[in-house]
């Protein structure tokens, strides 16, 4: 399947359409992408563009758009109702057909590094691409907007604050184009509800009631604004499956009645998944027995193309036999083959540890008893899921690196030149094979840190799961560490691996300290 990725950059400009035309032209100059939507709001002074295409095409188009916006938009003179910190304020990547969240994270990281180095624009990574739990939420990065961030980075609010607000890429100083936030996330619905009043205070009260950060609905972010002379509740719905759009509308309708007003109309900014509208229609029409296959268009466009066919043209279950299933990882591990081996097992154990941490955070979110730590748990869950994906990837990466290493031993060695090339290839492949378990080691120590936080502040009923996640990660570190050491030990010039061994030693030392802390927490908070 062709990989397809969506990008929805937000630009701090709407009142000068000629500027947006040039940004659009920059995007459309990349042949592998298609512009899907253009939405501008004069009061917000903000434009949202939506385009999609191949991973490489979308990444290049996003860079050209950021570059063009930086040349044409001056944040020192910009005004608008919507919070912003940059000319290109936020650039999220969303996986569509055939693409994964990991690929979107990789795009965000590469683009962030390029924007920081080539355009000298500070870049912050957010959502699934966040490098710190507190940066998973866009609001935390955008605190104080452009003016506040500029002040903080200048050191006017203290060295500690300047260090805390330091970007992931680029200079720790704001140019006139401001900073850019780049990340990877699931589909988001930008949805605004207009009220039958011009009293913006009512919109602000309703926004406070509906948004998750103030104790409202999960996966809802909201602001109260005055737009076109009418009070507006401006929202981002970050998970329409968990919090359907109909539930949001009815919540706002009830809140509005408290103040003697109603809903005038609503609007979408950009695009919306069809599934979200279908869910809203089903909710309002009370089609309790509805099946999505009852949608005419779904039936018309469905086909047998997705069915797997054998060489003789028959489905594998035609003769009453079950379709063959791929071997599980445990079965592959037990097979008498060199790969997957201990390095892959270490990554797998680490992924399980990250999964348990994400579970504990999820079991804490939404519980009134743990309302004070909800934001922290949301961030932990995002970072844990990112680490889980990275570690899952490392399972195959470790096996692949070992197979490459084995291949280098089969290189010809008949001449001195061949022997030299073979020796260099073996050394390089050995270092590469050591690098992957070292990266796994760094990741699992991060999982341990998150597990400790879950044990300290998470749902008490799941504290043993937090400890289990820690234990799996600790085991992963031990296994990965031995794989680093055995590879380095096999080098003729062992000094080439000194830096890696020193890094591993630091990670093991950090893990020891974390284990002391979590054992104390288990005794104090868990009674065990």
Annotated catalytic sites, by residue?
Answer: 82, 398
Q: Max Cα separation, the chain?
A: 90
Which of 109, 168, 103 minimizes the C-alpha distance to 141?
Answer: 168
Q: Are strands 220-227 and 230-237 parallel, antiparallel or unpaired?
A: antiparallel
3-state secondary structure of 173: coil
Sign of the alpha-carbon torsion through 392, 395, 401, 404 = negative
**What are the contacts of 142-147 at 24+ separation with CB within 8 A?**
142/83, 142/84, 142/85, 142/89, 142/181, 145/83, 145/84, 145/85, 146/75, 146/78, 146/84, 146/85, 146/86, 146/174, 146/178, 146/179
Report yes or no: 508 and 481 within 8 Å, Cβ to Cβ: yes
- Phi, psi angles (nearest 5°) of residue 438: -65, -40
| Dihedral angle of Cα 465, 471, 473, 474, to the nearest 10 degrees | 160
Q: How far is CA 114 from CA 45, 86, 111, 118, in A?
A: 27, 16, 5, 6
Residues in the chain: 528
Helix (H) or strand (E) holding 88: strand 88-95
Structure tokens at 438: 């070292």
Structure tokens at 80: 């608008």
Which of 212, 230, 231 minimizes the C-alpha distance to 221?
Answer: 212
- Phi, psi angles (nearest 5°) of residue 33: -125, 160
- The C-alpha atoms of residue 477 and residue 26 are separated, in whole angstroms, by 46
Place of tokens 């979200």: 276
Question: How many CB atoms are located within 10 Å of the residue 210 CB?
Answer: 23
Structure tokens at 165: 């607000």
Structure tokens at 117: 């180095």
**What are the contacts of 207-213 at 24+ separation with CB within 8 A?**
207/233, 207/234, 207/235, 209/251, 209/255, 210/235, 210/248, 210/251, 210/252, 210/255, 211/235, 212/374, 213/139, 213/375
**39 DSSP assignment:** E
């Amino acid at each position: 399947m062709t990989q397809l990725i969506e990008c929805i950059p937000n630009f701090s400009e709407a009142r000068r359409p000629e500027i947006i035309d040039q940004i659009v032209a920059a995007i459309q100059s990349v042949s592998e992408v298609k512009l899907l939507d253009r939405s501008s709001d004069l009061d917000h002074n903000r434009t949202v563009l939506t385009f999609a295409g191949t991973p490489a095409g979308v990444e290049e188009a996003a860079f050209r758009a950021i570059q063009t916006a930086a040349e044409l938009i001056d944040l020192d003179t910009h005004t608008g109702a919507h919070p912003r910190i940059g000319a290109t304020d936020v650039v999220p990547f969303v996986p569509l057909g055939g693409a994964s969240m990991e690929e979107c994270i990789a795009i965000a990281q590469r683009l962030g590094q390029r924007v920081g180095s080539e355009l000298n624009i500070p870049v912050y990574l957010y959502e699934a691409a966040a490098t710190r739990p507190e940066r998973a939420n866009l609001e935390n990065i955008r605190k104080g907007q452009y003016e506040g961030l500029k002040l903080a980075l200048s050191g006017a609010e203290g060295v500690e604050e300047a260090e805390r607000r330091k970007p992931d890429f680029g200079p720790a100083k704001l140019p006139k184009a401001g900073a850019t936030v780049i990340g990877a996330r699931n589909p988001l619905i930008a949805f605004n509800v207009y009220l039958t009043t011009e009293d913006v205070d009512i919109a602000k009260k309703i926004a406070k009631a509906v948004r998750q950060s103030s104790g409202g609905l999960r996966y809802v972010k909201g602001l109260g604004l005055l737009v076109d002379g009418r009070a507006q509740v401006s929202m981002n719905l970050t998970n329409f499956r968990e919090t359907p759009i109909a539930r949001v509308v009815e919540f706002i309708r009830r809140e509005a009645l408290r103040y003697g007003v109603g809903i005038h109309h609503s609007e979408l900014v950009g695009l919306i998944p069809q599934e979200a509208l279908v869910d809203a229609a089903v909710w309002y029409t009370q089609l309790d027995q509805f099946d999505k296959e009852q949608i005419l268009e779904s039936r018309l466009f469905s086909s047998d193309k997705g069915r797997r066919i054998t060489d003789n043209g028959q489905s594998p279950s035609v003769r009453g036999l079950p379709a063959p299933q791929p071997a599980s990882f445990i079965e592959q591990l037990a097979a008498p083959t060199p790969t997957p081996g201990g390095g892959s097992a270490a990554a797998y154990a680490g992924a399980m540890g990250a999964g348990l941490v994400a579970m504990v955070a999820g079991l804490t979110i939404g519980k009134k008893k743990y309302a004070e730590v909800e934001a922290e748990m949301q961030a932990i869950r995002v970072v844990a899921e990112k680490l889980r994906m990275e570690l899952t990837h490392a399972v195959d990466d470790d096996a692949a690196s070992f197979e490459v290493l084995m291949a280098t031993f089969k290189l010809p060695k008949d001449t001195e030149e061949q022997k030299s090339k073979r020796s260099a290839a073996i050394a390089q492949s050995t270092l590469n094979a050591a690098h992957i378990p070292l990266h796994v080691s760094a990741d699992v120590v991060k999982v341990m840190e998150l597990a400790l936080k879950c044990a300290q502040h998470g749902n008490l009923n799941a504290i043993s799961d937090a400890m289990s996640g820690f234990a799996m990660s600790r085991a992963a570190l031990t296994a990965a560490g031995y794989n680093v050491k055995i590879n380095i030990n096999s080098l003729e010039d062992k000094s080439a691996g000194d830096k890696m061994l020193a890094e591993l030693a630091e990670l093991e030392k950090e893990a020891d300290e974390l284990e002391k802390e979590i054992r104390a927490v288990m005794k104090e908070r868990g009674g065990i």
